[in-house]
Every structure is written in structure tokens, then in C-alpha cells.
Amino acid sequence: MAVFTNILVAIDGSEASDLALKRAVDEAKVWNAKLHAIYVVETGLFTSLPADNTVEIMYRVLETEGNAVLEKAKKAAATSGVALITHMKQGHAGTEIIGLAEQEKADLIVAGSHGKSQTDKLLIGSVSTYITAHSPVTTMVVRS
């Protein structure tokens, strides 16, 4: 029987990631595990744009959104009696999630099956696929 001591949940503010957070909180309670949440600002989305103030403004908007999502997650976990350690990263979401899992020695990664919109569904869906394909850590994909 697997025992999880350190859980990482990937969140983006979508319904699927809210369900993933809820499941990760439940798992953390069952196993009395530490719980981490990661929000990744996908900088790859900006590579084809000209390097000007527009990119910086877009990044700041996504970073502000990420901080709000992480704070909301922290409050939701606390309501359930679980302390949540939050992490904001930038880069390729799948790579950053796996990298943080390795850094924090996570033994379970929880992710939603897709993101906020139809476009995000393609991006975030590919993130959960990337994680399950490349992570040496047990991964749970929560469907909405």
C-alpha cells in the first residue's frame, strides 16, 4: 500500500484544478502529508511576440492572476485543516511541475485534466499528459 508523505498539486484557477486541489487536500489529510501547490506562468506563450512592454504587461497580469489563485487555494486548504505551501514558477508548465516535485521530494503529483478555456484545455491537457509521461513520481489526473 502506497503511503504519500509529500504531495504536489498543479493549479491554474480552472474548475479541473479546483477539483485537483480538493482531491490533493483529501489525500494530504488521509496520509498526514505535506501539501504543495504550484502555479506556472507559461512563458513559452510569449516566444513569438516582439520583446516590448506588451510582453511584460501580459506576464504581470498572469503573475497577478497566479498569486490570486495560490492565495485562494491556500485559504481553501486551511478551511479543510491542511497547510498549503505555494510556489510560483515560470517556464514550461510540465517541466516546472516535475522539477518542483523532484526539488521538494514529492511522492504524488495531482493535476487537473484540463484548464480554464477550450484553448487552455489543449495546453493544460497537454501538461497533464506531459507529467504522466515524464515524471518518475506517481501522478493522479483528476477529471472534471
Instruction: Assign residue 96 the CATH number of its domain.
Output: 3.40.50.620
Residue 127, number of CB atoms within 10 A of its CB: 26
Mind listing the pLDDT tens digit for each residue in 18-28? 999 999 999 99
- Domain-embedded: residue 102: yes
Please tell me the distance from the alpha carbon of residue 113 to that of residue 121, in angstroms, as a whole number. 8
- Identify whether 119 is part of a domain: yes
- Is residue 137 in some structural domain? yes
Decide if 1 is inside a domain: no
**What is the domain extent for residue 21?**
6-142
Tell me if the pTM is above 0.85: yes
Q: What tens digit of pLDDT does each residue of 73-110 get?
A: 999 999 999 999 999 999 999 999 999 999 999 999 99
Domains held by the chain: number: 1
Q: In this prediction, what percent of the chain has a pLDDT beyond 70?
A: 83
Q: Are 104 and 9 in contact (CB under 8 A)?
A: no
The pLDDT value recorded for residue 74 is 98
Residue 77 lies in a domain: yes
Starting at the earlier edge strand, list the strands of the sheet with 138-142. 84-91, 34-42, 6-10, 108-112, 138-142
Assess whether pLDDT exceeds 80 at residue 117: no
